Amino acid sequence: HLILDGRVNFVCQADYRKGKDIFFVVATVLEKMKSDFDFAELLKKHKTTAEISAQKG
C-alpha cells in the first residue's frame, strides 16, 4: 500500500473535475506551498529590517 509504505501522501481517483477529491488535494497543497513561501519571505524581510536597525543603533 503506497500510503502505508510512505511512498505517497494522498491517493485519489483520477477525476480532475472541480469539487472532486483530487481537486481539493492539489488546491490545498498549492495553498500550503504559497503560505510557506510567503512566510519565508516575511522572515527575510524582518531579518533584513532587524539587521539595518542593528547597524544604525
Residue 18 lies in a domain: yes
Provide the pLDDT for residue 54.
Answer: 86
Percent of the chain at pLDDT > 70 equals 98
Residue 34 lies in a domain: yes
Cβ–Cβ under 8 Å, residues 21 and 15: yes
Distance CA 57, CA 29 (A): 42
Q: Model pTM?
A: 0.71
All three cell numbers of 5, joined, read: 509504505
Give the mean model confidence (pLDDT) for residues 39-54.
89
Number of domains in the chain: 1
Distance CA 20, CA 34 (A): 22
Residue 4 lies in a domain: no
Percent of the chain at pLDDT > 90 equals 72
Q: What is the CA radius of gyration of the chain?
A: 19
Which domain does 43 fall in, by range?
14-57
